[in-house]
């Protein structure tokens, strides 16, 4: 079963420094086994940022959480608060697109 890791971070860093650190670490995420995609976001109302990780399996997600890269997320971003949430993927709105694209004909798109 595919899995999603959603991590919300409150940081003491200003937005520019936070982004610099994100960009510095981003290449390392390309080498994470089983990580299909990662999306970065920012809440403009309070400056919190998030990473939304799409893994091919729960096993790949769990293995990532044990890595040095994952363990250093709080210190890399001077995190005041880190809130990780893990979800199993139930289904996709458009199963022919995105990180969990399924092969074969697209799902029925009628309303």
Q: pTM here?
A: 0.84
pLDDT at residue 109 greater than cutoff 50: no
The per-residue pLDDT for range 7-56, each reduced to its tens digit, is: 999 999 998 999 999 999 999 999 999 999 999 999 999 999 999 999 99
Residue pair 10/80 in contact (Cβ under 8 Å)? The answer is yes
The per-residue pLDDT for range 2-14, each reduced to its tens digit, is: 999 999 999 999 9
Residue pair 73/9 in contact (Cβ under 8 Å)? The answer is yes
Question: Which 8-state DSSP code applies to residue 29?
Answer: H
**Count of CA atoms in the C-beta half-sphere (13 A) of 30:** 6
**Count of CA atoms in the C-beta half-sphere (13 A) of 19:** 6
Question: What are the structural domains of the chain?
Answer: 3-88 (3.30.70.100)
Alpha carbons 100 and 102: distance in angstroms, whole number: 6
Alpha carbons 54 and 40: distance in angstroms, whole number: 12
Any residues with CB less than 8 A from the CB of 41 and at least 6 apart, and which? 49, 50, 51, 52
């Amino acid at each position: 079963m595919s899995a999603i890791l959603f991590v919300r971070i409150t940081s003491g860093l200003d937005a520019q420094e936070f982004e610099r650190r994100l960009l510095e670490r981003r290449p390392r995420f390309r080498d994470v086994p089983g990580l299909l995609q990662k999306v970065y976001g920012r809440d403009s109302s309070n400056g919190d940022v998030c990473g939304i990780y799409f893994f091919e399996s729960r096993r790949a997600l769990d293995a990532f959480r044990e890595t040095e890269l994952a363990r250093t997320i709080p210190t890399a971003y001077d995190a005041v608060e880190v809130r990780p949430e893990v979800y199993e993927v139930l289904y996709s709105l458009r199963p022919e697109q995105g990180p969990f694209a399924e092969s074969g004909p697209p799902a029925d798109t009628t309303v």
